[in-house]
Structure 1
């Protein structure tokens, strides 16, 4: 036994030890946005989780930024809150300098610049900006973490995004359908509720409550619907 220990201690080969640290975490959740002819619906659930633990049942992912723009953000909750605070500060500076609200198009470009500025250590979030454009029509802007964005008619992101996106392509975009139903605000709201209700049955990171922001020419209306709690 003693001889074995001496041989083992004199062996020059050591087992490598890997040390790894990540400043990021994914707190789950799902957001979506759908643009109509003269309205836009932005929605997200309120569950904040990590692994198999629920940190909070009410951690909003959707924020009203101006009279006509709403931001849905998810991923790492801390980064999302930090990003929203920075955007609100920039919007306040803009109001003091120009005495008016920033338009949705200008806000979309500003958000892209903010995200690109942090490209070396990006915010670990996905973002979807929704509202009315300069012509009063609904607009949805989807982003990657480093600021590249695209104007779309509908978009879904998050842990249940792969479940809801095909549903939106079928029910909103009428993909592979001959007849297209009118895209009214009432229909979009019902499709949004159905999408999240179904997603909670399959995705453990989405649930508790659904918050919807309805953006129209008359302003922004916020509604809340209860979702599955387990």
Structure 2
């Protein structure tokens, strides 16, 4: 089975794939740990997931230096927020902050493609997906990165998210149980690893629910 070299920028040194799925009372955020440039693998153990708050995690694909700069900026902004309000940001508030931050840099944007996942103030799972200049949307599931063109059709087929144009609006959370969502994430990454040369090595999964945060790994193909 041949793998494809995605149409990915030569300046990108962190291809791979990131995925998030929101449920009624949980959120699953996952990413592979391969960091590569061109046909060279730089490391097999790079985490693409960043904890921004207790109930907000960001998974990013793109240029690694820009991703790190963005994470550092958001962390500093969140620290200021905590000092001023004596509490952490909710996931929807962090989503707005991320959008503002990306839009502020729109004329020289961060080369970072982000998915923000977590729990909202009601305890529901929430996923926000972004383009490079801050346009965002709350969805039931999303994928970014070089493997997203392989993963999103799979998720669309399995989850059938309601259109945001429906009136009255339909809740964006997916109908899967937490265990089913985790199994689906593992399946889509196993599939994407077969075809995308930038996705592989190891899968890192974070699960957020009312009991806290659960962290696990799954091995992927290493060739």
Tell me the TM-score normalized by structure 1: 0.85
Q: Which residue of 2 aligns with 1:199?
A: 192
- For the pair 1:31 / 2:24, whether they are aligned, the reply is no
d(CA) in 2 for partners of 1:64, 1:72:
9
- State how far apart, in whole Å, the 2-side matches of 1:45 and 1:209 are: 5
Matches within 5 A, 1:18-57: 24-57=11-44
Paired residue total: 204
What's the Cα RMSD here?
1.7
Cα-to-partner distance string for 1:151-194 (whole Å, 9 max, x where unaligned): 1000111111111111111222289xxxxx95100000000001
Larger Rg belongs to: 1
Question: What runs of 5+ residues in structure 2 fail to find an aligned partner?
Answer: 1-8, 163-173
User: Contact 1:27/1:75 (CA < 8 Å) preserved in 2?
Assistant: yes
In 1, are the aligned partners of 2:10 and 2:37 still within 8 Å (CA)? no
| Whole-angstrom CA distance in 2 between matches of 1:149 and 1:174 | 16
**Secondary structure of the corresponding residue to residue 105 of structure 1:** helix
Secondary structure at the counterpart of residue 183 of structure 1:
coil
The structure, 1 or 2, with the larger RCO (C-alpha pairs under 8 Å, 6+ apart) is: 2
SS in 2 for 1:112: helix
The equivalent position to 1:150 in structure 2, one of 137, 153, 157, is: 137
Cα pair 2:116 2:129 within 8 Å, conserved: yes
Which residue is 2:182 aligned to?
Answer: 189
Report the counterpart of residue 4 of structure 2 in structure 1: none
Structure 1 residues 82 and 174: alpha-carbon distance in aligned structure 2, compared to 1, 3 A threshold = closer
1:117-151, CA deviations, whole angstroms, 9 ceiling, x for partnerless residues? 11111000101000111221111100111111011
**Aligned mates of 2:155, 2:146 — CA distance in 1:** 16
Query: Residue 225 and residue 96 in structure 1: after superposition, are their counterparts in 2 closer, same or farther (change >3 A)?
Result: same
Contact 1:24 1:124 in 2 (8 A): no
Instruction: Report the counterpart of residue 17 of structure 1 in structure 2.
Output: none
Deviation at 1:76, TM superposition (A): 0.6
Q: Using structure 2 for the length normalisation, give the TM-score.
A: 0.87
**Matched-pair contact (CA < 8 Å) for 2:18–2:61:** yes
For 1:88-116, what per-residue CA distance to the aligned partner results, in whole angstroms no more than 9, with x for missing partners? 11111111111111011111000111111
Contact 2:202 2:218 in 1 (8 A): yes
Work out which of the residue numbers 104, 121, 125 in structure 1 matches 2:91: 104
Unaligned 5+ runs, structure 1: 1-21, 176-180
Does structure 2 conserve the Cα–Cα contact (< 8 Å) formed by 1:48 and 1:56? yes
Q: For residues 221 and 205 of structure 2, what CA distance do their matches in structure 1 show?
A: 16
